[in-house]
A = this chain, B = another copy of it.
Amino acid sequence: MKLVKNAAGRYVPTEVNGVKQIPFKGVGKYKPKGKKAAPPIKSCADYPDDGNKVVKNLKEALKKAGLKDGMTISTHHHFRNGDKVTNLLFDTIKSMGIKNIRWFPSASFPVHEPLIKYLEDGTIHHIEGSMNGALGRFASLGKMKGTGVLRSHGGRWQAIQDGEVHIDIAVIAAPTADPFGNATGDRGPAACGLLGFALADSIYADNVIVVTDNLVPFPCTPWQIQGNNVDFVVEVDSVGDPTKIVSGTTQVTKSPDRLLIAEYIAQFFEDAGIMQNGFSFQAGAGGINLAFAVYLRERMRRKGIKARFIRGGSTKYLVEMLEEGLTDYILDGQTFDLEGVRSMRENPNHINTSPFTSYNYHGKGNFASMIDAAVLGATEVDLNFNANVVTHSDGFLLHGIGGWQNALFGKTTILAIPSFRDRIPVIVDKVTTLVGPGELIDVIVTERGIAINPKRKDLLKAVKNSDLPIRPIKEIYDEVNSLCGGKPAKPKINKDEIIAVIKWVDGTVIDSVYKVEQ
């Protein structure tokens, strides 16, 4: 495997799974050429006039779709840990004796641990997509045949759109669908809100199979997935376990340290002048983020401030803000709880987005760069504000990128991080894996203080008179290292064996992930 040093100083392979790679060239530096991928032209003459595309089961659909060894099959992760379709899919593929599938999920979850046996027996050759938990551990130990490729949500759209990843068969689990293949996530026994992560798959894949446990008469609306892109529809007993897809209640953190971080961020929004009429922000569904939303809401009420839009992952806290009139819109990429699902279904100002609208870097702009402030997390940050979200300091690949890289393009990017986890400092000399370049990260908020990227002189000036604990990052770093008894131990990794690569939003390779030796 030939390695080159990329613009971030990281060594990355020039070829991955037989495909030539472009090393990261710097933010905004790589200019794509050529045309988008183009699916085959079809004819209505080859589809049923009555619009009924239902076939008897998944095996039948896969057969009709021409499943063969070595194909690329995609799935989405809107069911999160409640997904029942992907395991069924690979059980079916195994039963058909098919080998060497490239699995291209929008993300994987602990529920997919049973697929390890198919990685072992050659049914699945490798995974391109996030590998959370057990699958990540499996890959980290060098056990996966191919090399993992991790992309952001926007990077996944970009890779499909640009023809970097050609999907042979997309399998789209849908909470509700009609026999024509129109599908929605906002209703049905396994309602998950929306299906945006499967949208690119439905548009660009050669063959599209919709799997549902709630078949309704045509038309299924809203058609988040359009039947005009669908080849076959399959009915199953259950596509997902609702209790694991969304939780009825999302939990605000109870940790005093994390609550403090949340309060610091809310105050930062106010003191730095981000919180003003017509502003926008993005915050996820982690415990700190939820607490932040609650605190910010208080401040907005107090000052009579209204946002123009909030970017979700939506939760009941954001829904309450919408219903209370504290924001005109929620622009939502995934719903994290039942209130999010209900609001998306009922409220025309709770808008269903996709990685195309929000994150695709190879488009004519996207929403991410328009957002005033994004509050995100990280597993590690270094003294130059570079950040990691995929590996831990022990080298294990345990998380996906999600929309994290994409959201970094917001006007102000704030990382909310406890200064240490399990007595391991989070601010480090050099991140184990580079996922986000420091030039895009503006503020680090820990319970011990707030570090502002020296590049952001405007922000430093804006909070000059604030009583927030603004401190140089090095100072926080030193304090935490002394508190934890030193820097994190070096990970035991084998620099000669790359188990996965991390793509930047433009399809270039920003870093490599190495095998962990045990």
Main secondary structure of the interface of A (DSSP, over half): loop
Stretch at the interface among A118-126, A228-236, A293-301: A228-236
Q: How far is the CA of A45 from the CA of B361 in the complex (A)?
A: 8
Contact (Cβ within 8 A) A228 B356: yes
Stretch at the interface among A36-44, A420-428, A457-465: A36-44
Q: Write the nearest CB–CB distance from A220 to chain B, whole angstroms.
A: 10
Q: Write the nearest CB–CB distance from A389 to chain B, whole angstroms.
A: 21
Contact (Cβ within 8 A) B51 A41: no
Contact (Cβ within 8 A) B45 A34: no
Stretch at the interface among A4-12, A132-140, A241-249, A362-370: A362-370
Contact (Cβ within 8 A) B218 A370: yes
Which residues of chain B come closer than 8 Å to A21, judged between CB atoms?
A: none
Contact (Cβ within 8 A) B32 A361: no
Q: Write the nearest CB–CB distance from A419 to chain B, whole angstroms.
A: 31
Q: Write the nearest CB–CB distance from A222 to chain B, whole angstroms.
A: 8
Contact (Cβ within 8 A) A309 B32: no
Which residues of chain B come closer than 8 Å to A349, judged between CB atoms?
A: 221
Which residues of chain B come closer than 8 Å to A90, judged between CB atoms?
A: none
Name the interface residues of A23-56: CB closer than 8 Å to any CB of B. Answer: 28-51, 53
Name the interface residues of A389-406: CB closer than 8 Å to any CB of B. Answer: none
Binding site for B on A (CB under 8 A): 28-51, 53, 161-162, 180-181, 208, 217-219, 221-223, 226-231, 278, 308-309, 329, 331, 348-349, 351, 356-357, 360-367, 369-370, 409, 411, 506
Which residues of chain B come closer than 8 Å to A409, judged between CB atoms?
A: 44, 49
Contact (Cβ within 8 A) B308 A365: no
Contact (Cβ within 8 A) B365 A47: yes
Which residues of chain B come closer than 8 Å to A360, judged between CB atoms?
A: 228
Which residues of chain B come closer than 8 Å to A40, judged between CB atoms?
A: 34-36
Q: How far is the CA of A131 from the CA of B43 in the complex (A)?
A: 28
Which residue of B is nearest A39, CB measured? Answer: B36
Interface residue from B41, B351, B367 paired with A161 (Cβ < 8 Å): B41
Q: How far is the CA of A78 from the CA of B269 in the complex (A)?
A: 44
Q: How far is the CA of A329 from the CA of B221 in the complex (A)?
A: 10
Closest 10 CB pairs of A and B: A47-B365, A28-B45, A35-B38, A38-B38, A51-B370, A49-B369, A32-B41, A36-B38, A228-B363, A44-B361
Contact (Cβ within 8 A) A309 B36: no
Besides A43-B506, A226-B357, 20 other A-B contacts (C-beta < 8 A):
A30-B43, A32-B41, A32-B43, A34-B40, A35-B39, A35-B41, A36-B39, A38-B38, A42-B362, A44-B362, A44-B366, A44-B369, A51-B365, A218-B370, A219-B329, A219-B351, A223-B357, A227-B364, A227-B365, A228-B364
